[in-house]
Structure 1
Amino acid sequence: MPVLHSTKNLEVLQAPTAAKEGVGVFEYTDNYTVFHYGRMPDQIPGKGEATCKMAVFNFQLLEEAGVRTHFRRALGPNRIEFTLARLPDPAAGPPTPEAGSYLLPLQVLFRNELPPGSSVHRRLAAGTLTPAEVGLQAIPAVGEQLEQPVIEYATTLEPVNRFTTPAEAQTLSGLGDNEFRAIREITEKANNVLTAHARSLGLSHCDGKFEFLMAGDGNLVLADSPGTPDESRLMFNGVHCGKQALRDWYVSQGHEIPTGKLIAEGVPRDQWPRPVPLPPAFLPVMSDLYRSLSETWTGQHGRSAPGLSAATQAVADTISR
């Protein structure tokens, strides 16, 4: 049976064990998520297929560049088969490579620039982050491009994921010094590949996140769906091409869901306020954006998606109303 997995459904074809990786299938759906709420009330037609095409393209691009990924093969317009690793039990303590294959309970975030919506600006303003902690000399300007990418780490198995120090990230992931250095090296390489491709198309690859699994042979493997609009912040002509555009609409209309506050106050999830749906006219605008972005990114053009300039302008016009 498929298992709900954020904007994707997960189907386990072969369960992983400590001795051997398994096989899974991701079905990319038309759902979207913002504010750590989970699936929002609407679906964006065509989003799943558009995202899947980008994921397949990126896996192939990264593999050609020498980055090992968990991708096995495409199964259709919105499904892929991939290598599946065990999910560690947080109660059992940090996993170790000696225990076999596992998904690292960690996400690695990279930032090439700091556009509007970047959490760095919010955290600096709140005093929960200092420039020195992310290798910056001073508080950056909104939209500032960084000389070197900033690398950060966050949890993945907590009710609301939180940022961690590199030392805590290494402990949580159960990695030795060499393996933990390798995570950063793979992140930098994969980021460079995706950023170069974005730049060749006139897009900005502002930031994103990667997840990894430890394979049974002791090597790290890039997982999830790198470089897609669910995992990376992509911009064109100053307009966000993904979930940030959806966040911006909710915030501009006063409909943001304060999930962090609700969790901190212990409010049961079934008592959280229901998010309002998007305006019906916004759904086709976002549908055009996802399909146009996917076609531009992959070079696989269809017949109905508008050009990316027109698609992003329509998004900007809708949010500003």
Structure 2
Amino acid sequence: MGSVKDLVVLKEPAATETGTGRFIFSDRYSIFDWGEMPDHIMEKGKAICLVSAYFFERLGELGIKTHYLGVVEDGVVKRLSDLQKPSDTMEVKLLRVIKPKIHGNFYDYSAYQRERGNFLIPLEIIYRNSLPEGSSVFKRLKEGSLQLADLGLQQAPKPGQVLQKPILDVSTKLEATDRYINWQEARAISGLDESEIEEIKRVTLTVNDLITEEAKRLGLLNEDGKVELGFDGNRALILVDALGTLDECRFTFEGLPVSKEIARIFYRRTEWCREVEEAKKKDKIFWKALVKTSPVQLPDRLANAIAMVYKAYANEITKRRWFNTPSLKEVLEDIKELTTV
């Protein structure tokens, strides 16, 4: 079980052969690396499953390899177009997850130097088309862990700045807290060669282009998002996890967040969030034990409005009315009222 979805293993992956499993997307959600938050977002799991299936199928048509096998309805694996009703279950190829060993405050990735295929690459690739308020880029620039040259910028960016071309960022995937790293370290810890790094970048930009195009159709700006990848048994690159959802992407509508950022805005005002930020400064690995406050529940109206965003987005991205909701624009007008109080 993960913080936002569960996994049922039908066939274990081996060193040279992918396994088979089913993701059951839950109504749970996570922010700030905390894990499961106290609220559930009703029918979020079904909405996430449908949207991710849509993008996997579109990318397959573009020749991009993925781990997607179909969506499950009444025990049968189907294409999205064959579903009779929303489903929260997706069947996928399974790769091995090789977790780095922990030695004190150090992560040991040496196992990746020996592995040839059929494993999750321990990285998250982030594409950035703009730098909305709340982007980690501003915090990293202030701390000095990121330089303007890394972004290809001459001057310090401003919140809301649209970039002339996408920036690709990279972070760790299997550590207690995602850690931004440079491409040289990403290549080293994952056992990748230069051509594989370039292929990862190419696939990520293809994903970004597709999601940007589809979001634009809804009147949304695709600010940034993340991609996860792995190698199959032949060391061919494949996309894994989920794609194009409100959990993986940050969209805005006329400057208004259309993603988990809505919940983040609420929680940034709480004592719990302040404790999380301080704890991460003190201990990069075991920070959670230092947090004494628990996150409060979202106000009911805000939690319900966030659920409507997920469902309206799923309806409009897939061009099919799975859920009985107002239009995405109408839901976002309600969100705007709630988040400006």
Write the mapping of 1:62-73 to structure 2, written as runs, cut at 5 A.
62-73=59-70
Q: How big is the shift at 1:257?
A: 5.3
**Match of residue 50, structure 2, among 28, 48, 53:** 53
One of 79, 82, 85 as aligned partner of 2:95: 85
- Map 1:222-237; keep pairs closer than 5 Å: 222-237=239-254
Could you list the per-position Cα deviations for residues 211-255 of structure 1 after superposition, in whole angstroms to 9, with x for gaps in the alignment? 101111121001111111111111222211121000001113555
What is aligned with 1:17?
14
| TM-score, length-scaled by structure 2 | 0.88
Name the counterpart of 2:310: 290
- The answer (yes or no) to whether the contact 1:111–1:207 under 8 Å persists in 2 is yes
The two structures have a TM-score, normalised by structure 1, of 0.94
Matched ranges for 1:1-321 at <5 A: 4-76=1-73, 77-91=87-101, 93-96=110-113, 99-253=116-270, 255-256=272-273, 258-263=275-280, 264-265=282-283, 269=289, 272-302=292-322, 304-321=324-341
Give me the whole-angstrom Cα distance separating, in 1, the residues matched to 2:47 and 2:334: 18
The answer for unaligned runs of 5 or more in structure 2 is: 74-86, 102-108
Distance 2:148 2:203 in 1: 24
Cα gap change, 1:28 to 1:45, in 2 (>3 Å): same
For 1:13, give the aligned amino acid.
Answer: L
Q: 1:257 to 1:296 in 2, by over 3 A?
A: farther
Amino acid at match of 1:154: S
Residue 109 of structure 1: CA displacement?
0.7
Q: How far 1:6 sits from its partner (Å)?
A: 2.3
Give the length in aligned residue pairs: 318
* Further displaced range: 96-105 or 197-206: 96-105
Per-residue deviation, 1:183:
0.5
Amino acid paired to 1:9: D
The answer to whether the Cα contact below 8 Å between 2:220 and 2:253 also exists between their aligned partners in 1 is yes
Q: What is the alpha-carbon root mean square deviation over aligned residues? A: 1.8
Q: Would you say the 8 A contact 2:16–2:234 is kept in 1? A: no
| 1:289-321, Cα deviation, whole Å (9 max, x unpaired) | 111111111111146211111111111211222
1:11 and 1:124 map into 2 onto residues whose CA distance is: 41
Mind listing any 5+ residue stretches in structure 1 that lack a counterpart? none
State the AA in 2 paired with 1:6: S
Specify the SS of the correspondent of 1:80: strand
Give the distance between the partners of 1:320 and 1:254, measured in 2 at CA.
Answer: 19
CA gap of 1:48–1:131, structure 2 versus 1, over 3 A, is same
